[in-house]
Chain A
C-alpha cells in the first residue's frame, strides 16, 4: 500500500508538468498584451512588458515561472498591476493568520494528538481483546486520523477571519456546503427513487432532478435574489442580499443552488447504482432470508452501490471547491471562480497558471483520496498490483 501511494504521488509530476506547460503555451499564444490600457503608446507598452520580463524567450519565462513556483512565489497578478501576488489573491493577504502558531504546525499538532490517542486506545484494545494490533491499526487508525484531520480543516475553514482572506477560503466554504447539500439531498433521493422504481415518486424525483440539471445556474441564482427582494418588500423583512463579505449564513442560499445541480446528478447516479446492486444475488439471498427489503437495501446495498458514486463525488468535489464562476458572480461571493475567466480575458498569465495549477492539484489529490477510500468500501481491492496505473 505504501508503494502504491508513493507511485500515485509520483504521477503528480507528469500531470504538473503537462498542465503547466500546456497552460503556459496556450496562454502565451493568445494574441494581445496584458497591458490593456488604451492610453499606452506602443513603445511604452514594449518597455513595460520588458520590465515584467515578457520579452524573454518563452522557454526561459517558463523555467523562471516553475523555479519561482517551487519556492512558493506564484508571481504578481497583472490585473492588479503587480501590487498583489497570485498567492495573496487566492490564499489570503498578509495578516490572515489569527494565531501565532503557523498553520502547518497546528495540523501537525492535531495529527500527533490523534495518532497518540487512537494508537494508545488501539494498543489497549488489542491487549484486552488479544487481536492483531497491526490489523487494528490499518482498519481504525488511518480512517480516524483522516476524519479528524478533515474535521479540523473544516473547523479552521469556517472559523478563519475573512477580512484578509483570499478567494479560495470563500470558494472552499461555498464548495463544502454545496457538497454537504449534495450528499444530504442527492443520495437519499436516489435511494428512495431506486426503492420505488417506476412509481410516481420515482418519476417526480427524476423530473425535478432533470429540471435542476438543465436550468443554467446564472439564471437560477438571479431568480433566487429577486425572490429575496420580493419577500423583503411583501413581508417587510430585512434580509440582505449578496453581501460582499458573506458570512457562513449568507452562503446557505448559493450553496443550495450550487448543490442542487450536483445533487440531481448524484441522485440519478445513486438511483441506477442502487438498482443494480438490489438485483445482485446476495441481495436476493438476504431478502430470501426474510430481512426487511429496505433495511437490506440500505444496509447491504449502499456500501456496494457507493463505489461508482464515490468516483463521481471525487470529480465533483474538485469542481465545487474551486468555486463556481456564475454562482459566485451572481451572489457576489469573493471566491476564486471569477479568476478562471477574468485571468484569460485580461491575459493575467501568472493568474491563469495559478488557478489551473490549484485546480489540477486538487483533482489529483482528491482522486488519490478516492482511490484509497475504495479499499474501505470494497475490501476485494488490493493495492499491491497497482503499479503504473
Chain B
C-alpha cells in the first residue's frame, strides 16, 4: 500500500507537467501571443487529463523506488559549456541552509547543496542523496539509504552522520525561521522549545544514523508530505569539518563546501555571485560551465539589460506583461509559469472585529460582487489567473469549483438578505467598515503596497464593490509587509483584508492548515474555524489512498467555499523572457530555478 501514497505525488508531478506543457515547458514552448489567462487554465486542465495516461509507467518506476533502490545512478548529460547569465533581485540573506529564508538564497542553496530528495522541474519528488527509502507499514518510520559515491566539493566523502549533523544544526539555531519543516519528527517539539545554551546542544531523537549509509526517521504520526518536505533547503547537508573549522564565515566563496552540482566560485556581496560546475558531482557534471548571477533590485533595469543582450533570462515586470507577449521582438522568448501562490480576500472571524464573521450572507454578497477576470486580466495585466478555490491549479486534489459565480444582481440580493436592505443601512455598513478600529486605522480594505500587484488588485476589489454593491470602502495601505503581517495575523484587527499564501511545498496540507485550520498554535493567516472543514482536510492528510484523499480534500474545499469563508481571487503567474539558445532550464511554479540541466547552444 505504501507505494500508492507516493503515486499520488507522482500524479501531482505529472499534472504539473501538463500545466507546464500548456504554458510552455520552461524554455522550449512559447505562449502564443493571443493566449489569455483564461485560455491557459482551460488548456492546462485538458492537457493534464491527457497526461494522466502517461502517468502509469512513471508511477511503476517510482513505486519501485519506494521499496528498492533505483537512485544512485549517473546521468549522462550533453556538456554544452558556457555561462548562464541570470539575475536575482537581491543579496541572499545567507547561503547557510540552517539560516536562509529568502527565495534568492534557496535558489543558490539548491545548486550548492543536496538533501535526501529533490523536486524536479515538474515538482516531482526525486531521489537525491537518498538512493532509496522504505516506509514502515504504520507510516511512522522512514529508512533512507544514502548514496555511497557522494563527495563534498573538497573531496570529503559524505556519510549518514553528516545528515544528522546538518539537521541538528538547523534545530540548534534558535533564530532559524524554517525549522518547522522538521515538524512531526519525534523529539522536534521538545527540541525547539529549548532556549539559549540548551538549544545550542539540542538534538532530535527522531532521526539517527543506523550505519554510515543508512538514516532512520521516526514520526509521531504518519505524514504523507515528508518526502516532499525533505526536498526543502533546511534538509540540505553541510560538511561538519568545514563548518566547525571556519565558523560563521564558512559560507564565503572559497570556504563554502557542499555536495551540489555547482561550487561557489565568487560572491561579491550585494553585487554578484558566480557558480562553477562541480566536476565530481555524483550525478555527473552539469551541462553548462558556470552561472553568473547579477543582483539587480530594479525590475525595469534588469529587463533593459536583457534587451541589451547582457542576460540570458529575466523576469518581466508586471506593467510590461501584455505587450511583451505581442511584441515581435520577443517572439519565441516568452514563457509563462503559473505560481503556486493563492491570493484571496480574508475576513475577520474574531468577535467584535467587524460584521463579516457572523454573517454568511454578507460574505456572500462581497463574494458575488467580484469579477475575477477584471482583476487577473485588467488590473494585473495578465499577471494573475482567475481563481475560485483556495487550492491553486497544479496542486494535487485540485478540482475547479465555483461556489458563487460573479453576479451583481445576486450580490445585491445577498446584501439585502444579510439585513442591509435599505440605502441607509448600506450607508451605515459602509461607514462602520471605513471607520473601524481606533481612529479608523483598521478600516476600509487593508493591504500593503510593498508586494507586487497587491495595490492594483486591491484598487480593483474596492472599485467593483463600489460598482456592484454600492459600498465604497476606502483603501487602507499599510506601508510595510512587516507591519501588515503583524496586524493581520492572530487576532488581527482588520475586518476585511488582502490575503495571500505561497506554498512551501506543493501539498494541500500546506494550504489548509495555516490558512483556515482551527489549530491556533501554528501559523494562522485567517482565524476561521469550522469543525467539519477541519475534520475533512485532516482526514485527507492522513489518507494514503490518493483517490480517497482527493475526495476528502475536495470536500473540505467545498465546505470552505460554500461558507464563503474567504474570497479566492487570483493565483500568480511568472512571465519570463528566455533567450532561444537556452534549453532545459527549470523555473518551477514555486519560483525555484535549477541550472544543472540547463543547456546553452552556441
A and B touch in the complex (CB under 8 A): yes
- A residues neighboring B (CB under 8 Å): 30-44, 47-48, 50-52, 79-84, 88-89, 93-94, 162-164, 166-167, 222, 225-226, 228-229, 232, 239-245, 329-332, 334, 338, 344-347
Asked if residues B482 and A245 are in contact (CB atoms below 8 Å), the reply is: no
| 21 contacting pairs across A/B (C-beta < 8 A) | A30-B480, A33-B482, A36-B482, A39-B177, A42-B489, A44-B177, A47-B195, A48-B176, A80-B93, A81-B175, A81-B177, A83-B99, A84-B269, A222-B301, A225-B301, A239-B308, A240-B310, A241-B301, A242-B305, A332-B296, A345-B479
Asked if residues A83 and B297 are in contact (CB atoms below 8 Å), the reply is: no
Asked if residues B295 and A244 are in contact (CB atoms below 8 Å), the reply is: yes
B284 within 8 A of A: no
B contact residues around A40 at 8 Å (CB): 177, 523
A contact residues around B502 at 8 Å (CB): 38
Minimal beta-carbon separation of A48 from chain B (angstroms): 5
B83 within 8 A of A: no
B436 within 8 A of A: no
CA distance A181 to B415 in the complex (A): 64
Beyond known contacts A329-B298, A345-B479, A345-B480: 7 more, CB 8 A cutoff: A38-B500, A38-B502, A42-B489, A79-B93, A83-B93, A222-B300, A345-B481
Kindly report which residue of chain B lies nearest to residue A48, judged by CB atoms.
B175
CA distance A225 to B300 in the complex (A): 10
Total number of B residues with any Cβ neighbor in A under 8 Å: 59
Minimal beta-carbon separation of B213 from chain A (angstroms): 32
CA distance A245 to B296 in the complex (A): 11
0/1 string, B375-417, CB within 8 A of A gives 1: 0000000000000000000000000000000000000000000
0/1 string, B299-314, CB within 8 A of A gives 1: 0110011011110000
B contact residues around A240 at 8 Å (CB): 308, 310
Number of A-B contacts (CB under 8 A): 156
The 5 closest A-B pairs by CB, nearest first: A32-B483, A32-B482, A244-B294, A83-B94, A334-B270
Minimal beta-carbon separation of A131 from chain B (angstroms): 54
| B178, B271, B480, B525: the one within 8 Å of A32 (CB) | B480
Residue of A38, A226, A346 contacting most chain B CB atoms (<10 Å)? A38
B118 within 8 A of A: no
Asked if residues A330 and B298 are in contact (CB atoms below 8 Å), the reply is: yes
Given A40-B177, A229-B308, A347-B480, decide whether A167 and B300 contact each other with a Cβ distance below 8 A: no
0/1 string, B177-190, CB within 8 A of A gives 1: 11010000000000
Residue of A37, A338, A344 contacting most chain B CB atoms (<10 Å)? A37
Kindly report which residue of chain A lies nearest to residue B95, judged by CB atoms.
A83
Asked if residues A229 and B248 are in contact (CB atoms below 8 Å), the reply is: no
Chain B 81-117 interface residues, beta-carbon cutoff 8 Å to A: 91, 93-94, 96, 99-101
| B248, B251, B298, B481: the one within 8 Å of A332 (CB) | B298
Kindly report which residue of chain A lies nearest to residue B480, judged by CB atoms.
A345
B548 within 8 A of A: no
Chain B 470-509 interface residues, beta-carbon cutoff 8 Å to A: 479-487, 489-490, 500-502, 504
CA distance A38 to B177 in the complex (A): 10
Given A80-B93, A229-B307, A244-B295, decide whether A93 and B195 contact each other with a Cβ distance below 8 A: no
B320 within 8 A of A: no
Asked if residues B296 and A242 are in contact (CB atoms below 8 Å), the reply is: yes
B174 within 8 A of A: yes
Asked if residues B489 and A242 are in contact (CB atoms below 8 Å), the reply is: no
B contact residues around A167 at 8 Å (CB): 270
A contact residues around B195 at 8 Å (CB): 47, 50-51
| B450, B487, B521: the one within 8 Å of A41 (CB) | B521
B47 within 8 A of A: no
Asked if residues B482 and A34 are in contact (CB atoms below 8 Å), the reply is: yes
B contact residues around A84 at 8 Å (CB): 269
Given A39-B177, A41-B523, A83-B99, decide whether A241 and B483 contact each other with a Cβ distance below 8 A: no
**Secondary structure at chain B's binding surface: helix, strand, loop or mixed?**
loop
B contact residues around A164 at 8 Å (CB): 268-269
Kindly report which residue of chain A lies nearest to residue B91, judged by CB atoms.
A80
CA distance A217 to B28 in the complex (A): 39
B contact residues around A232 at 8 Å (CB): 308-309
B522 within 8 A of A: yes
B249 within 8 A of A: yes
Minimal beta-carbon separation of A99 from chain B (angstroms): 20
Minimal beta-carbon separation of A163 from chain B (angstroms): 5
Residue of B100, B176, B271 contacting most chain A CB atoms (<10 Å)? B271
| A36, A245, A334, A338: the one within 8 Å of B485 (CB) | A36
CA distance A30 to B484 in the complex (A): 11
Given A36-B481, A37-B101, A48-B174, decide whether A345 and B450 contact each other with a Cβ distance below 8 A: yes
A contact residues around B489 at 8 Å (CB): 42
Asked if residues B504 and A39 are in contact (CB atoms below 8 Å), the reply is: yes
0/1 string, B305-348, CB within 8 A of A gives 1: 10111100000000000000000000000000000000000000
B contact residues around A338 at 8 Å (CB): 297
Minimal beta-carbon separation of A121 from chain B (angstroms): 44
B555 within 8 A of A: no
Asked if residues A241 and B486 are in contact (CB atoms below 8 Å), the reply is: no
CA distance A39 to B501 in the complex (A): 9
B272 within 8 A of A: yes
| A83, A225, A243: the one within 8 Å of B304 (CB) | A225
CA distance A244 to B268 in the complex (A): 10
Kindly report which residue of chain B lies nearest to residue A328, judged by CB atoms.
B297
A contact residues around B308 at 8 Å (CB): 228-229, 232, 239-241
CA distance A89 to B296 in the complex (A): 16
Minimal beta-carbon separation of A249 from chain B (angstroms): 16
Given A89-B270, A330-B301, decide whether A344 and B480 contact each other with a Cβ distance below 8 A: yes
Kindly report which residue of chain B lies nearest to residue A229, judged by CB atoms.
B308
Kindly report which residue of chain B lies nearest to residue A51, judged by CB atoms.
B174
0/1 string, B249-275, CB within 8 A of A gives 1: 101000000000000001011111000
CA distance A244 to B301 in the complex (A): 11
B contact residues around A52 at 8 Å (CB): 175
Kindly report which residue of chain B lies nearest to residue A94, judged by CB atoms.
B249
B contact residues around A163 at 8 Å (CB): 266, 268, 271
CA distance A163 to B269 in the complex (A): 8
CA distance A38 to B489 in the complex (A): 9
Kindly report which residue of chain A lies nearest to residue B181, judged by CB atoms.
A39
0/1 string, B424-454, CB within 8 A of A gives 1: 0000000000000000000000000010000
CA distance A241 to B484 in the complex (A): 36
CA distance A30 to B175 in the complex (A): 22
CA distance A331 to B490 in the complex (A): 41
CA distance A37 to B521 in the complex (A): 17
Asked if residues A41 and B180 are in contact (CB atoms below 8 Å), the reply is: yes
B contact residues around A344 at 8 Å (CB): 480
CA distance A225 to B303 in the complex (A): 11
Kindly report which residue of chain B lies nearest to residue A241, judged by CB atoms.
B308
A contact residues around B251 at 8 Å (CB): 83
A contact residues around B482 at 8 Å (CB): 30, 32-34, 36, 345-347
Asked if residues A42 and B490 are in contact (CB atoms below 8 Å), the reply is: yes
Given A32-B485, A39-B523, decide whether A80 and B94 contact each other with a Cβ distance below 8 A: yes
CA distance A272 to B248 in the complex (A): 57
B contact residues around A244 at 8 Å (CB): 268, 271-272, 294-296
B contact residues around A239 at 8 Å (CB): 308
Minimal beta-carbon separation of A4 from chain B (angstroms): 41
A contact residues around B180 at 8 Å (CB): 39, 41, 44
A contact residues around B177 at 8 Å (CB): 35, 37, 39-40, 44, 48, 81
Minimal beta-carbon separation of B141 from chain A (angstroms): 27
A contact residues around B270 at 8 Å (CB): 89, 167, 334
